[in-house]
Amino acid sequence: MTGSPAPHLDGLPHYFAAGIGAGPANLSLAALFRSGTSESIALFDRQPAAGWHEGLLHSGVRMQTSWMKDLVSVVDPTHELSFLNYLVRNGRLFSLINAQFDVIPRREYMRYLAWAADHMDDVHYGHEVDVVTFEAGRFVVHCDEKPVATARHLVVGVGTQPARLPGLATLPAERSFVADDLHRRLPQMTEGDKAVPVAVIGGGQTGCECVLRLLDEGFTDIRWYDRSTWFHTIDDSPIANDVYRPSHVQFLQGLSRPTRRRLVEEMQHTGIALTPGAMRTLYQANYDRMLVTGEFPVTLLPGREVSGGALVDGEVALDVVSAEKREQHRVGYAVVAIGRVNTPVPLAPELVAQIDVDTDGEVLVGDDYAVTWKGMAENGIYALNRSMYVNGITDNNLTLLPVRAATVLNSMLGREVYTVSDDLSPVRWG
């Protein structure tokens, strides 16, 4: 390592790696650090405690991935922080098995993350990172406008935040809000007339879960909008699941950038879509309610894009564009569930200036998740959840967390700590 610590950094804890964010991606890496090396890693997260999309933990919500694809098991099935060990240690193994879930409750997964984090050293919740600088040959993590730690390597795992709909920006916050805020708005909503129309905008899994929650709360006029011509469900076939394995990631990494982008776009519905089970639940609940009231409480509106809205005569007037016409729909509330966007990374401007970008302005990330920058020979910056068009659609979900973490750890140490092998496959990608 070059350079010497600046005087104002004396006494700060120094780590081999520092992770910004303590969500599933960085927790997986920290877990493998724990078992695969004596080197140290510290994670910093602004949340007060371990959590994962807590605003979306509605009753009955399920994961979209197998419980076997936890923080560690696909590269180290004997790891003490596996989901199976979590169940045994918490006395819930037989109860969960006998409940015969196709996929586990999302609340169970969140509790697993909290349990795992509690068994790791140097996971610092309630520490929002203001900025990361690079001084004297090391990264410096700043919280509350002061340096708190230094590290040789940096891992960015800050995750995502809900996307907003610009056309609804002028509406009052209590009448139009993102799906993550629905649980906070429900008490006020349920005090009023439950026959008031409620719009859910966005035809993905989060939108479906919001519709189900509103239905459970007794709302009788729920309107679900999707700009696509139908509500897409996940392709969960065996060949689709073969996309979610290391051999396919390696195949993609050997292709040209334009080809990778095209293939990844074609594969979106293998993971970024509705769970068939959730749609079945919705249709059955909608039918059951219709048998009681004579009308379906949920109306699905595919092929309608909500472009904007305003408050008119005490109602939310939505501007809706379909294939051949424009409409205005009046509702009481609008719940926005149009997807998620990357959370900004708190890097100092002078550090950002040293990072290489492509002709489209996108950060260059390698197949080991390392960012190309001026100091990478000695100090690595690793980006998790930021390279879907390089490392495949799995970079944006939970399926291969341990594989990605193992790849990063191997890259940092310059040796194969964990072997990632996937040679026995019935598919030969062309």
Q: What is the mean pLDDT of residues 189-210?
A: 95
Element containing residue 141 per DSSP (H, E): strand 138-143
Lowest-pLDDT range of 39-43, 155-159, 271-275, 297-301: 271-275
Closest CA to 248 of 235, 258, 239: 239
Closest CA to 315 of 176, 111, 152: 176
DSSP 8-state assignment for residue 66? -
Which pLDDT score, from 0 to 100, does residue 3 have? 52
Q: Is 16 left (phi over 0), alpha (psi -120 to 50) or beta?
A: alpha
In sequence order, which residues have a C-beta less than 8 Å from that of residue 283 and are 6 or more positions away? none
Q: What is the mean pLDDT of residues 261-288?
A: 91
d(CA 341, CA 326): 28
Structural tokens at position 146: 């002061």
Residue 2, pLDDT above cutoff 60: no
Which pLDDT score, from 0 to 100, does residue 1 have? 41
Please provide the size of the chain in residues: 430
Q: What is the mean pLDDT of residues 153-177?
A: 95
**Domains of the chain listed by start with CATH number:** 7-159+343-413 (3.50.50.60), 166-233+273-340 (3.50.50.60)
Beta carbons of 142 and 129 less than 8 angstroms apart: yes
Q: What is the mean pLDDT of residues 63-73?
A: 91
Q: What are the two backbone dihedrals, phi and then psi, of residue 383, each rounded to the nearest 5 degrees? A: -115, 120
Residue 245, pLDDT above cutoff 50: yes
Lowest-pLDDT range of 60-69, 171-180, 201-210, 303-312: 60-69
- Which value, in Å, is the radius of gyration of the alpha carbons in the chain? 23
Lowest-pLDDT range of 6-15, 76-85, 197-206, 284-293: 6-15
pLDDT, tens only, 296-350:
999 999 999 999 999 999 999 999 999 889 999 999 999 999 999 999 999 999 9
Q: What is the mean pLDDT of residues 104-111?
A: 92
Residue 252, pLDDT above cutoff 60: yes
Residue 5, pLDDT above cutoff 60: no
d(CA 263, CA 272): 14
The alpha carbon dihedral of 13, 17, 20, 21 has a sign of negative
DSSP 8-state assignment for residue 364? P
d(CA 133, CA 269): 39
pLDDT, tens only, 154-164:
999 998 899 99
Percentage, residues of the chain above pLDDT 90: 80
Q: What is the mean pLDDT of residues 137-148?
A: 96
DSSP 8-state assignment for residue 377? T
Average pLDDT, the chain: 93
Which pLDDT score, from 0 to 100, does residue 9 have? 84
Task: Report if pTM > 0.85.
Answer: yes
Beta carbons of 38 and 26 less than 8 angstroms apart: no
Output the CA–CA distances (angstroms, integers) from residue 257 to 35, 102, 250, 429, in the order listed.
35, 36, 14, 17
Percentage, residues of the chain above pLDDT 70: 99
Residue 173, pLDDT above cutoff 50: yes
Structural tokens at position 379: 């100090």
pLDDT, tens only, 354-403:
999 987 778 899 999 999 999 999 999 999 988 888 888 888 888 899 99
d(CA 391, CA 249): 6
Closest CA to 384 of 361, 360, 368: 368
d(CA 268, CA 142): 37
Cα three-residue angle 370-376-380, rounded to 5 degrees: 50
Structural tokens at position 223: 């309107």
Which pLDDT score, from 0 to 100, does residue 271 have? 84
Q: What is the mean pLDDT of residues 139-143?
A: 97
Which pLDDT score, from 0 to 100, does residue 54 have? 74
